[in-house]
Structures are given as C-alpha cells and as structure tokens.
Structure 1
Amino acid sequence: MLDHEEKFLFKEEILHLANAMGEPGVLDNVEDLLTDVITSPRFDSEVFTLERSLQVMLGPRAGTTLVGLLTVAPEVFDEVAEVRIPPEVHERLVAWRARFGLAIDNALNFLNNPDGIQGHNFATQVAHVEERRVLQGRLTLVRYNNEPQFFVADASVFMGLVVDIMERLGPYLEPDAVDAETMSRLRDAVQLVERKTTARS
C-alpha cells in the first residue's frame, strides 16, 4: 500500500493523466493504440516502444503514468478509485488494466531483463472482457539464446495453478456454470491425486 506522501504524488499523477485524456477522442485513440499493440504480430517490439508512443499522444508525464498504471500492483491500482476523475476515464482505466495490463507487464518484465527471469512464477487475475469474466494467467518467461520460451514447471507447480484457478473462479460461478460431466471429472481427478500421493507417502 502507499504511504501518505506516495498517495499524494499518486493522486497528482492520476489527475494529470485524466486531464491529458479529457480531450474529445483521446480515450478512443489510446484504446486503439493499446489494442493495436496487444494484437500485433510484432508484439515484443511494439510493447517496447509503447511508452514512447503514449508520451507522443498524451505528453511525456501522462504517457509514463499510464504505462505504470497498467502494470502496477493490484492493491496500488485500487487507489485510483479514491481519486476524483471523470467516471468515463476511470471506467476506461479499469477496462484497460483488465484487458491489457497483464500481457504488457509480462512483456516489459521480460524485455527489461536481458539475462532472463530465472525460475518460474504463475500469476492469475479475473478480468472482465466483453461482459464476461475471463481468467488470465501469466507464466514467467525465461530467455534462452535470446528467444522467449515458456518455462515448463514440475507437477506440483501445475497442481498449484489448477487450485489457484478453481479458487479464483469459484466465487464468480453461476449454478449452471459447470456441467455434471465436468463435476464428475473433477471429483475423479481429486480422488486419483489423493490415491497416488497417499500411495507414495
């Protein structure tokens, strides 16, 4: 969480960003740019210049703030709700964070670590995409021979990911979200894991 001074500075930067996006058409232009970057076949190179592109569009200070806001920790991003900015700007920021934040953050982490990120790390978030709740996941990239590759984790890590997904989606499920066959498979899978791990121990 932010301390008192950090909150003050954070508020000032968000207000400046909101003012920069207050002109007619700017919100749509920024969203078009983010969409183009995230869907580009040259995503790595596009995201590397994203901050500069936003600085040209919004101004140096606001462009940097927006990139930071899209990739900041969730508890810090939540502080935006406490800043008095136009509702339409706040709605766009929340939507952009959900749609673009994870992919941009992952790419920037990779590009800013020329020696690669050693080890592995799973992260998930529930995002709202076109009125649907979508679970987005991130698996830390590791660099081999200057090429990005996904790290293949051991079984315990994958099991942890499965549990994480179920815990994250569980609170949002509707009564008919999971069919009977899937529920049966889930129960069978849990029983199988229990039998195997009990036998091993």
Structure 2
Amino acid sequence: MTSSPARLVVLVSGSGTNLQALLDATEDPAYGAVVVAVGADRDGIAGLDRAKAAGVPTFVARVADHASRADWDAALTAEVAAYQPDLIVSAGFLKLVGARFLAAFGDRYVNTHNSLLPAFPGMNGPRDALAYGVKLAGATLFFVDAGVDTGPIVAQVAVPVEPDDDEASLTERIKEAERAQLVEYVGRLVRQGWTISHRKVTIG
C-alpha cells in the first residue's frame, strides 16, 4: 500500500453509528484511511448529518428518482466512482446494488451483517437466530457479491446468546461487536491489502 491514506466511501441508510465509528477511527493518521464521501439512498437521515458535521462530502441517490433500478445502479456507480475510492463500506446501507456497481467495485465493497453467515441472512438475523435457538450469534464482514449476504467472508465475531435475551438485547450486543470488527478489519484491509481467491479472503 502507498503511504497516502486509503480513500473510503461509506454508504448509509439510517443513523450512521457504524459510519461514526469509522469517522472516529480515521482521525488517527495511523489508521491509514480517510472517509472521502458518504452516500445515502434517502434524504434527512442522521448518517448524513454525521458526515456533514465531520466535513465529509455527501450525496444522495434515491431509487425513486430514476426510471429503473438499473438506472439507479448506474447513477450510484457514477457517484461513488467520482471519489476514486480504494474501499467502499456499506454501513447500514439497505439497498442491494446491481450488476454495474459490482462490475466496478465488487472486489472492494464490504458489508457487515448481524449474523454468523451463512446462517440467517437477510433483514432479521438476530430474530432468526433466537427463533432457531442457537447458543452463538454474531456478526460477519464480507465482500458483497450478487447474492444476499453470500459474498466472501473477511471476518466474523461470535456473540453468546444469553438465556434472557430478546431481539432488542441481542441486537444491541451484536451491534457493539459488529462495530468494533468493522473498524478493525477495514483498517487492516487498507493498511495491509487483500486478495480474494475461491471465496477465501487473505489480508496482507
């Protein structure tokens, strides 16, 4: 990797707590990255406010503003490409990107999910884990592919399920572990580099 900090574009759809963790981490030059832009799929969200408070440029790409999902995907791709990112981070971005975005960024677009994939993909990881009765839940950081939470895995962290857990309590504990994992491994990826071969991600 070069000595200049890696360029991160972060995509958000909501409160932006994972974004804030990355913004805080990048304040240390030793982290090796800087957030150069934050994109969203909707206006008026706290994630955009966090970016603006940090002086980071923002953009919004709303699906409803485009004639088709493919047109939206092309517009999102162009918005992100304008910032020449080294790594793109989905930090609670609730839209599935399309073929054009993946063709441009598929080997440098990471997402975090609140289960130990491949178990419990989709929107309700903690709820599904509780319903199944597992003893270990957790979070997964992975490179995005064309499936739903099916891409090559970068890292995983386990979170024990407590006997009195409900969806809210388990979700909150997973979020804490997920946030720490995201910050640690985004930093490792940008400082050490990575390769992806046959679903295996190697850092360094």
Fold-level similarity (TM above 0.5) = no
Structure with the greater alpha carbon radius of gyration? 1
* TM-score after normalising by structure 2: 0.26
- The structure that is strand-richer by fraction is 2
* TM-score after normalising by structure 1: 0.26
